[in-house]
Structure 1
Amino acid sequence: MGKPDAEGHGPADGLPGLPPEWGRVVVPDDASALSAEAAQIRRELRRAAGLPGGHRALGLPLLVLLVAVLTTLAGLLVVTWPRVNRGTERSTPAPYSPPATLAGRALPALDLVDASQAPVPLRGLLPAMIILLDGCPCPDRVADALAAAPAGVSVVTVTGGRTVPARPTNQRQARALADPAGGLRSFLGQPARPGTATALLVDRAGTVTRVVPDLGPVDAYRGDLSALAA
């Protein structure tokens, strides 16, 4: 047993001075005598941790909570990041590129329609200057082409849909046709552009000799138009 001090409150020597408020301190000779107190302390530590098993039992809930927080933050980042400049973005129109080189290619055997909706084989009107008016009626440009076309060379105007616009009857007329299927525009390989008329010059053998992407002053194509009569 431990040796009591002079007052019977603890060992007389071998221990440092202890606060008097601790009261009587008895140091047993056998440490196993403290097992009950150690078990009680462990129970209190587990209870303070909130779950049986102590701090190790808290690991799984804390891990789940951490994963949930990180997932939420990642989701917010994905949702908000692409929208930072969304209100200021504007689509940029594709730059215009001239029609692919069609010179030397054969005009396809297309049947267009006239004002009475009767089919008209386009190759039966060759040689011809064929003007697509689906982007612009351009009456002045058509009149210039008519005035410059030599005898034997047709001037054919083509509109989209099935409607052929009426022409005044007091002047030389172009052959007005419509292209319901859009075959001629598809052959050209370019969409109609507002304010622009496009022309194809085709010889009597059905070969395209020139494409005029934007029909302008007649002097720009007069020589090619005259060559169709040869």
Structure 2
Amino acid sequence: MGTPGNTDGWPENSGPPDGLPDLPPEWGPIVIPDDPAELAAEAALIRRELRQRARRAAWRRRLRLRRGGPSALRLTLLIMPLALLAAVTSLFAVVWPGQHRQPSTPRASAGGSPSRTLPALDLVDADAAPVALRGLLPAVILLTDGCACADQVTAAAAAAPPGVTVIVVTSGRSRPSPLPSPPQTVAAPVRNLADPAVELRGLVQTAPQPGSATALLVDRTGQIVRILPTLGSPADYQGNLPQLTRT
């Protein structure tokens, strides 16, 4: 408990001792505690504020900052190089070569590693009607950009097992070119189609070779079993043909 102070002035017929002025009225009622320990919380707050002021003053002395205009300018000059350095570092992290590597697309090799799936493409028949390529699987697809390749078509049709379609594709033309009729001994059906958008040639990522076709062996699920950039004799891919009809 504390003893209330007299906020209404000094006692009647007595003035301020030693000529001291009255306390300002805006201070409100003044309570003098009987135990000084009751002021511990207020004292702690004051000490904390004094320490904060001392730390700020110490940093100002270290940075040689003074109150007023020059301090704001010095602080700005100190912050700007740091912000510029952070921005340049972020920019180099984004555009530095080799940081973002594009996923490599597997390229076809002479060995024809099965690494891709045939997309859902529509080719064009002789009547300019669209034909779903996946509806003709399993198939041996021959890209005949570099030649008529009639002998290679006949040999592929003779080597294909039952149930496999031989598809002869001409790229970049609105309609497929007619091919000679295969011999009666050939069991595999032969479809002659065109690929106006050249999508199949872009899939194998090989340029047409004069005098030779490019072959894709595709099973019934659309998985490319083998790619032959330059088609040779059927003996080169005979061992892959049974894989086309497996389930």
Normalising TM by the smaller chain, what interval? Answer: 0.5 to 0.7
**Partners of 1:169 and 1:209 in 2: CA distance:** 27
Are 1:167 and 2:183 an aligned pair? Answer: no
Q: Which stretches in structure 1 are left out of the alignment for 5+ residues?
A: 1-97
Q: Match of 2:82?
A: none
Matched ranges for 1:177-216 at <5 A = 177-216=193-232
- Cα separation, 2, equivalents of 1:207 and 1:228: 9
Distance in 1, matches of 2:222 and 2:137, equals 7
Contact in 1 for aligned 2:209/2:230 (Cα 8 Å): no
State the 4+ residue runs in structure 1 displaced beyond 4 angstroms.
none
Residues matched between the structures, number: 133
Identical-residue share of aligned pairs (%): 50
1:142 paired residue number: 153
Q: 1:194 deviation in Å?
A: 1.6
Partner of 1:132: 143
Paired position in structure 2 for 1:155: 166
- Residues 3-51 of structure 1, C-alpha deviations (whole Å, 9 max, x = no match): xxxxxxxxxxxxxxxxxxxxxxxxxxxxxxxxxxxxxxxxxxxxxxxxx
1:176 is aligned to 192
CA displacement at 1:168 relative to structure 2: 3.5
**Paired residue for 2:121?**
110
Q: Contact 2:150 / 2:180 at 8 angstroms: preserved in 1?
A: no
TM-score by length of 1: 0.54
Partner of 1:27: none
Shift of 1:138: 1.1
In the alignment, the residues of structure 2 paired with residue 155 and residue 143 of structure 1 have an alpha-carbon distance, to the nearest angstrom, of: 9
SS of alignment partner, residue 245 of structure 2: coil
Helix, strand or coil for the counterpart of 2:123? strand
The alpha carbon displacement at 1:193 in A equals 2.1
Q: Distance in 1 between matches of 2:169 and 2:243?
A: 22
Structure 1 residues 111 and 221, CA gap change in structure 2 (3 angstroms): same
State the alpha-carbon separation in 2 of the partners of residues 198 and 169 from structure 1. 20
Normalising to structure 2: TM-score of the pair? Answer: 0.51
Query: Aligned partners of 1:137 and 1:168: how far apart in 2?
Result: 10
